[in-house]
Amino acid sequence: MKLARGTKFIEEEHPQLLRDESSLSGGNCQVAVWPEKAHEVTEFLKECFEDSVNITVSGARTGITGGAVPMGGAILSTELLKGITSTADQNIIRVLAGESLESITNYCNKEKPGLFYPPDPTETTASIGGTIATDASGAASYKFGSTRNWIDRLRIILPSGTDLTVKRGEHRFRKGKLNHPVLGTINLPQLDKSQPIKNAAGLYITPGMDLIDLFIGSEGKLGLVLEADLLLARKPYAVASFAVFCSEDQFWDLRKDLMNSNLPLREMEVIADPSLTFLTENTGKTFPEEGDWVLFTSIDIASEDELDVILETLEMLLEELNISPDNTWGGFDDMEVKRLKEFRHLLPETVNRIISGHALKNNKIHKISTDTAVHPEKLQKYYFKMKSILESTKIEHVVFGHSGQGHLHANLIPKNDFELEKAELAVELIAKEAVKLGGTVSAEHGTGKLKIPLLKLMYSAKELSDMELLVERICVS
């Protein structure tokens, strides 16, 4: 096991451990370890637990809420916990926490042709441990749902050092209670209202839930994910992707038409005005002159005949809304689909690059963004409220996200302390509007360190206290 000691030594020799994609500053720790074996993880966690040392678990550090940034104590990196193996079930693979989504894809392409792992967060370098900890989703979650839908088994090292294996279907809560041979009796907190369908804020709590789902999305509070059994899906004949450049009115109409169609949609994304202008100014890329909104969609194709039907249906929908084919980018082969995916990812990547530049001049600057979501039917109403708040700040901003799931990311780009304070207030106001509409303050990124204050907007003091008591209860097992 690789180990480093000393705040100054770690800061000088391993500065990457003290930051993630959130650009949150102030990271520091006294001890850093890189275990390669399960017993090394167990021994280190147990030692820290007995000495009351706080631990931050670090994966690929692609998170944008500061969850991997240590604020004292020790940091445990999963970077060297690598390995992917097949299981007796051909549709399941076993993966250690440090493997990336990209490496999982490469493994499936080589060893499991015809199968793939569906969860598709933006960053393919994200570690599987991190995506499980945050219940990551992404564009394809419109069809496939979040990470939790594709986890069959977890091996978890609890903070006390206890090595725990949880398999889906073996332990379920009954009337909010579960008796477990290792964990003992667990009582779920009682919530005043059910959690939104897409939600990554607080612990996952729903009637009759499986025990495994309590750990997924818990952001490491309940333990470190050491390895996971992932469910694979069969690849379709092909995937057709489209980017439709249109007006705001055309976007809302086309979104409704597509969601009401029988097309096998994989994703339904949006880039809203003024994002295209922002991209042109900061990347030099140009886009069709007509239309300042973009609707992205990908459609699973079962056969060549079905492709013809889908193209005809899409052409008809565009024609009815007076959207020119010249304003649509489409792709069917792997290269074209990749190009469109890179275009969609260009916006958050550009925002991150600019924020990082501002942070070099002022270390207080960090990424300010929303991860809020409402029921898809309420998205247009919610967007108008979000837009009003954003425009009132006079701060440069862009909006994009998963429109099919009512889930938008508003990214504000503050340049100084004054704009930073205004941006943070705007995020809180936007989160309040989401909660008023029955939504969530965090739909896929978790709360990390930056969004913890937003939890009080969504849960009562008692609900938050009960969640903390549950965390403490499991941590000492």
Banded model confidence at residue 476, pLDDT cuts 50, 70, 90: confident
Same domain, 325 and 442: yes
Burial class (CB in 10 A: 0-12, 13-18, 19+), 369: buried
Same domain, 13 and 42: yes
CB 337, CB 331: distance < 8 Å:
yes
Residue 46's nearest CA partner among 471, 476, 473 is 476
Report the pLDDT value the prediction gives residue 163, as an integer from 0 to 100: 96
Banded model confidence at residue 51, pLDDT cuts 50, 70, 90: very high
The answer to whether residue 328 is domain-embedded is: yes
Domain boundary among the residues 41, 62, 77 is at: 77
Same domain, 73 and 106: no
Report the pLDDT value the prediction gives residue 80, as an integer from 0 to 100: 97
Banded model confidence at residue 158, pLDDT cuts 50, 70, 90: very high
Same domain, 109 and 125: yes
Same domain, 219 and 263: no
Report the pLDDT value the prediction gives residue 283, as an integer from 0 to 100: 95
Cα–Cα dist 49/44, whole Å: 9
Same domain, 338 and 378: yes
Report the pLDDT value the prediction gives residue 189, as an integer from 0 to 100: 96
Same domain, 144 and 291: no
Q: Which domain holds residue 301?
A: 238-448
Specify the 3-state DSSP secondary structure of 136.
coil
Residue 331's nearest CA partner among 342, 340, 344, 323 is 340
The answer to whether residue 461 is domain-embedded is: no
Identify the CATH number of the domain in which residue 13 sits.
3.30.43.10
Domain boundary among the residues 77, 107, 137 is at: 77
Same domain, 35 and 170: no
Identify the CATH number of the domain in which residue 277 sits.
3.40.462.10
The answer to whether residue 185 is domain-embedded is: yes
The answer to whether residue 107 is domain-embedded is: yes
Banded model confidence at residue 24, pLDDT cuts 50, 70, 90: confident
The residues near 465 (Cβ < 8 Å, ≥ 6 apart) are none
Cα–Cα dist 101/127, whole Å: 6
Same domain, 213 and 246: no
The answer to whether residue 416 is domain-embedded is: yes
Report the pLDDT value the prediction gives residue 290, as an integer from 0 to 100: 83
Domain count of the fold of the chain = 3
Domain boundary among the residues 33, 49, 77 is at: 77
pTM of the model: 0.93
Same domain, 40 and 94: no
The answer to whether residue 463 is domain-embedded is: no
Banded model confidence at residue 441, pLDDT cuts 50, 70, 90: very high
Q: Is the pLDDT confidence value at 23 over 80?
A: no
Same domain, 88 and 166: yes
Identify the CATH number of the domain in which residue 172 sits.
3.30.465.10
Same domain, 296 and 387: yes
